Chain A
Amino acid sequence: MQETKILLDICFPAQPDSLHEMRQQVADVLTSLGLSYDAWHPLVLAVDEASSNVIRHTYQFDGNHQIELKILLVDKTLIFRLHDDGDRVDTEKIIPKRRNQAKPGGLGLHFIHEIMDKTTLIDIQGEGNTLEMVKYLQGQDAR
């Protein structure tokens, strides 16, 4: 059985102003694994985009809610779990649509799917939404 390490377990206000500090915490965790800037920067971006989507679409900028973020390391696999207590999200909504490059919409989902190896809405707590994003660290440091 592979050991699961909890690298980060935080809860932050669902407000745009909270994103900077969250990103810093995620970056600190990833750099402590020995990941290069080119490896950790996209992962921070993906977590930030997922959090922004919760703030914008699930909570509609109602900053009284919280977002939970867990980062797990299982062998050489990073798992980012983002949980909100908002209304259930249609799983179709996390699938990026074909993008027109010169149109601004849908970029956040595009980034998440380009960066992560697997993105799934999982049902583990019975309420709200839990988005799980998986990144395999093949060939990268994960001390």
Chain B
Amino acid sequence: MTYLVEEKDGFLLVHLEGDVDLSTSPEVRKLMLDCLRKKPQLLIDLSQVSYIDSSGVASLVEGYQLSKSQGSEFALIGVSEAARSVLQLARLDKVFPIYDSLAQRLQHGSI
């Protein structure tokens, strides 16, 4: 798995690529929690995620919970088919805010 963090339009964007599984999810968890502490508007781009398991989903849940507790924003964008099917299986596809892209998120209003 690789990742790229960029700041754009007032958001911190984390682009994840590859497999988010037991070997990589601890890094993803740390990355997301660190990002949320730096900037309260975090978008996780899952468009290039080829595989995600329960440990990866649990990391996303932790990020979402931290954002709720500190009143910040945490959303998923461009969720790949592989990731979407796992979120559906976890019945979390209606829990996370999910947008097709950063542009779609921006259409939903300013930060």
Docked CA distance A16–B19 (Å): 12
Q: Which residues of chain A from 38 to 77 have any CB-CB distance to chain B below 8 Å in the complex?
A: 38, 41-42, 45, 48-49, 52, 55-56
A108 pairs with B62, CB closer than 8 A? no
Of the residues B21, B57, B62, B65, contact of A19 by C-beta under 8 Å: B21
> Within 8 Å of chain B (Cβ to Cβ): is A135?
no
Secondary structure call for the A interface:
helix
Residues of A near B57 (CB, < 8 A) are: 104, 107
> Within 8 Å of chain B (Cβ to Cβ): is A114?
yes
Given A16-B21, A19-B23, A41-B85, A49-B91 contact (CB < 8 Å): no
Residues of B near A115 (CB, < 8 A) are: 89
Given A16-B22, A115-B89, A103-B54 contact (CB < 8 Å): no
Closest B-chain residue to A105, C-beta based?
B58
**How many Å from the CB of A37 to the closest CB on chain B?**
8
Given A16-B22, A19-B23, A48-B53, A102-B61 contact (CB < 8 Å): yes
Q: Which residues of chain B from 12 to 69 have any CB-CB distance to chain A below 8 Å in the complex?
A: 19, 21-23, 51, 53-55, 57-59, 61-62, 64-65
Closest A-chain residue to B64, C-beta based?
A102
Residues of A near B53 (CB, < 8 A) are: 45, 48-49, 52, 108
> Within 8 Å of chain B (Cβ to Cβ): is A111?
yes
**How many Å from the CB of B75 to the closest CB on chain A?**
15
B85 pairs with A107, CB closer than 8 A? no
B22 pairs with A52, CB closer than 8 A? yes
Of the residues B54, B61, B65, B92, contact of A49 by C-beta under 8 Å: B54
Residues of B near A103 (CB, < 8 A) are: 61
Number of A-B residue pairs with CB-CB distance less than 8 Å in the complex they form: 62
A102 pairs with B90, CB closer than 8 A? no
A111 pairs with B61, CB closer than 8 A? no
Residues of A near B89 (CB, < 8 A) are: 42, 45, 110-111, 114-115
Binding site for B on A (CB under 8 A): 15-17, 19-20, 23, 38, 41-42, 45, 48-49, 52, 55-56, 101-105, 107-108, 110-111, 114-115
Return 28 A-B CB contacts under 8 Å, by A number: A15-B23, A17-B23, A19-B21, A19-B22, A19-B23, A20-B19, A20-B21, A20-B23, A23-B51, A41-B82, A41-B85, A42-B85, A42-B89, A45-B86, A48-B21, A48-B53, A52-B55, A55-B22, A101-B92, A102-B95, A104-B57, A104-B62, A107-B58, A108-B53, A110-B89, A111-B86, A111-B90, A115-B89
